[in-house]
Amino acid sequence: MEIIVKEYKNYNADKILNLYDSVGWCSYTKRPEMLEHAFEHSLKIFGAHDEKKLVGIIRAVGDGCSIVFIQDLLVLPEYQRKGIGRKLIKTMLEAYPDVYQIELATDNTEKTTAFYKACGLLPYSEMGCEGFMKIKY
């Protein structure tokens, strides 16, 4: 299995909705028009491909200078724990080597904390910061 990561430019609703459904992110798949609009207005998107199959995605928003916010990182369940998520994060970080801050929000679990710390990111709490969020369902 050779996973190729490349910029994702042509939105394919079937592939994207399948990916989001596979990881249980139904708040996105219940609003497919919103998700497509979000993709169209993203700063940068990379896809991970196993031949022609889309197996992972990372999507960033922001200005690309002072901030990049990694909005989504998803990998099909059967492809998880194979280094694909790490490869996607690395690719996004390399795309913005001089940006002032790169942020993301994720589940507060030991597994996710360990993963993102291994990718070189730190929890806000370790930097004397606090994060806040408002979600509209």
In tens, the pLDDT along 13-41 reads 999 999 999 999 988 899 999 999 999 99
Query: Does residue 133 lie in a domain region?
Result: no
d(CA 110, CA 108): 7
Other Cβ atoms within 10 Å of 73 Cβ, number: 24
Query: Does residue 87 lie in a domain region?
Result: yes
Query: Does residue 107 lie in a domain region?
Result: yes
Q: What is the pLDDT of residue 135?
A: 85
Domain range enclosing 49 = 3-127
Query: Does residue 136 lie in a domain region?
Result: no
CATH number for position 48: 3.40.630.30
At CA 27, angle to CA 36 and CA 105, rounded to 5? 90
Q: pLDDT digits over 111-130, tens only?
A: 999 999 999 999 999 999 99
Q: What is the pLDDT of residue 1?
A: 76
Kindly write down the DSSP assignment for every residue of 50-81, as one continuous string. Answer: ETTEEEEEEEEEE-SSSEEEEEEEEE-GGGTT
Query: Does residue 132 lie in a domain region?
Result: no
d(CA 135, CA 123): 20
- Report how many domains make up the chain: 1
Per-position b or e across 22-50, b if 16+ CB within 10 A of its CB: bbeeeebbeeeeebeebbeebbbbbbbeb
Report the phi/psi class of residue 105: left, alpha or beta, with left for phi > 0 and alpha for psi in -120 to 50: beta
Query: Does residue 27 lie in a domain region?
Result: yes
pTM over 0.85: yes
